[in-house]
Amino acid sequence: MTSEAESYRHLHFLLIPLMSQSHIIPLTDFGKLLAHRGPLVSIITTPQNAVRYKPTVDAAAAAGLRIQMIPLQFPGQEAGLPHGCENMDSLTSMGLATEFFAASEMLKTPLQKAMAELDPKPACIISTNALPWTQQIADEFDIPRYVFETISCFTLLCSHNILSVENPNSMSDEETFLVPDIPHVIEFTKSQLPETTANSAKKSPENNDHTTSVINQIIKAQLSARGTLVNTFDELEPEYVNGYRKQRQNLWCIGPVSLSNKNLTEKSNRGNKPSINEQHCLAWLDSMEPKSVIYACFGSLCRISANQIKEIGLGLEASNSPFIWIIRGLDSSAEVEKWLEVENFEKRVEKRGLVIRGWAPQVMILSHRSVGGFLTHCGWNSTLEGVCAGLPMITWPMFAEQFYNEKFIVHVLKIGVRVGVEGGCSKGLLVTWQRVKESVEELMNIEDGEGRERRRRAEKLREMAKEALENGGSSYLNIGFLIEDVVQQKLTQLV
């Protein structure tokens, strides 16, 4: 053990994610990075989520890291959720999100009880941005809280600056407006804004609905926090990191945290139990030419209609590129399965297409030499995983901050091709198989200069991401600054 790690063994970091894959996965990855530096790391979870993440945390502990999970009973039914809903990806409808956030806040009392019994006592709380009530707990225990942002500095700064736009809600859905005071020319329509930004931008004093109340709580908790951690790295978006630093004290970029998964087991077990045998998946990938495969996946929360799924499948088939296509469990409906069977789809594409239903080992797949492109919903975790793999991307945003990420991929990083959606998936607009086909062909074409340049930029970003977390890299140093800040806060309390 290094002298640095030995000097930090007395520290205990308490990590609290929103019970959603997009929050639990990166915060668990970050927990491993922290534990490598010596502190004890405890991750708050629930019984069902603990089962999902047990292999990841057990493997880290077996490798000598001081990391553990603390499961608390999730009061879902008390908040009006169906039995067994402990993760946002298990919600039968996103209309239940309000109840889910209410259940999350009801964890406050059992968390207070658990913290009072911990030994050693936590030196700080690190919680994801959707849990403003954790600031109250940090204050009660007189320890600092740090916000873990699961989105980019580009999104954070754009969202902040859009609040100064004169009432975008008075515009039509199709009317564009410029994001003010940022280094690039970025335009949005109202329908592309996340609900949180749109509600925050409302100027009318009578706007006191539940969503706005939650947003105001989040903003207040962000301002009260000791510091902000962002899952990005300084070199990826330097102007936006510097721009957002002016809005938040003690901002540290500590990513890409997915690079904490180095060996095959870590990459394949990350997040959930894969729905495909790892060796079968690797054998299929090994049989393909380098950089020939397009990987198509739309995250854990996006709801895709059966008609759209059919168009995606037909477009991938018509592109003539080898592909891996993930059909999420909730999207694998009776109608979809019947179509796959009647069309004999999997048999028809078996020599160059692999269909995975459910959870896929995404980091393992993306990092394989045969994968050359990523068709993505533009979630920030997936975006960073694509960057870390050095892949150009086809962008297909659907909701939340995903349209921000598309702008970042296409207009700032210049490593993306748009599939062409102009509004969220709730608009019900269908992307045709022809457009899917054209997007894949455009992305995978390296004969023209633009395609080659996209790939060159993507591969350069991969090297920059790797260097950021190596000893002496920007994110490595920032994690050290965070730990030292916790040490200083603890010393201040003793004086």
Question: Cβ-count burial of 303 within 10 angstroms (0-12 exposed, 13-18 middle, 19+ buried)?
Answer: middle
Residue with tokens 């790939």: 455
- Give the mean pLDDT of 357-362: 90
Q: Which helix (H) or strand (E) holds 415?
A: none
Nearest CA to 122 among 24, 16, 47?
A: 16
Residue 425 pLDDT level (bands cut at 50, 70, 90)? low
Question: Cβ-count burial of 292 within 10 angstroms (0-12 exposed, 13-18 middle, 19+ buried)?
Answer: middle
Residue with tokens 């409302």: 202
Q: Give residue 333's pLDDT.
A: 81
Across 115-119, 355-359, 460-464, 473-477, least confident range:
355-359
Average pLDDT, the chain: 91
Q: Give residue 491's pLDDT.
A: 87
425 half-sphere exposure, CB direction, 13 A CA radius: 20
Tell me the two tokens of residue 345: 């789809």
C-alpha 119, offset from chain centre: 31
What does the alpha-carbon distance between residue 192 and residue 172 come to, in Å, rounded to a whole number? 12
Residue pLDDT, tens place only, 149-181: 999 999 999 999 998 886 656 677 778 999 999
Nearest CA to 104 among 128, 122, 124?
A: 128
Residue pLDDT, tens place only, 18-27: 999 999 999 9
Q: Where in the chain are the domains?
A: 3-155+199-259+470-494, 263-465
| Torsion angle defined by CA atoms of residues 299, 300, 304 and 310, in that order, rounded to the nearest 10 degrees | 60
Residue pLDDT, tens place only, 31-52: 999 999 999 999 999 999 999 9
Q: Give residue 210's pLDDT.
A: 60
C-alpha 414, offset from chain centre: 20
What does the alpha-carbon distance between residue 270 and residue 449 come to, in Å, rounded to a whole number? 36
Q: Which of the pair, 290 or 5, is modelled with greater confidence?
A: 290
pLDDT higher than 80, residue 495? no
- Give the mean pLDDT of 305-321: 95
* Angle subtended by helix axes 474-494 and 449-469, to nearest 10: 30
Residue with tokens 């207009």: 411
Residue 493 pLDDT level (bands cut at 50, 70, 90)? confident
Strand duo 323-327 + 353-357: pairing: parallel
Q: Which helix (H) or strand (E) holds 16?
A: strand 12-16
Report the CATH number of the 263-465 domain.
3.40.50.2000
Tell me the two tokens of residue 290: 């380098």
Q: Give residue 205's pLDDT.
A: 38
Q: Give residue 169's pLDDT.
A: 62
Residues 6+ apart with CB under 8 A from 4: 37, 38, 480
Backbone angles phi, psi at 14, to 5 degrees: -105, 115
Q: In what order do the strands lie in the sheet with 40-45?
A: 67-71, 40-45, 12-16, 124-128, 145-149, 227-230, 251-253
57 half-sphere exposure, CB direction, 13 A CA radius: 24
Residue pLDDT, tens place only, 184-211: 999 999 889 886 555 554 443 334 466 6
Q: Which helix (H) or strand (E) holds 192?
A: none
Residue 383 pLDDT level (bands cut at 50, 70, 90)? very high
Residue pLDDT, tens place only, 271-309: 777 778 889 999 999 999 999 999 999 987 778 899 999
Amino acid at 40: L
pLDDT higher than 70, residue 132? yes
Q: Give residue 291's pLDDT.
A: 96
Task: Report domain 3-155+199-259+470-494's class.
Answer: alpha beta
CA end-to-end distance (rounded Å), the chain: 30
Q: Give residue 111's pLDDT.
A: 97
Domain 3-155+199-259+470-494 and domain 263-465, same fold? Reply is: yes
Strand duo 145-149 + 124-128: pairing: parallel
Q: Is cis: bond before 26, omega within 30 of 0?
A: no
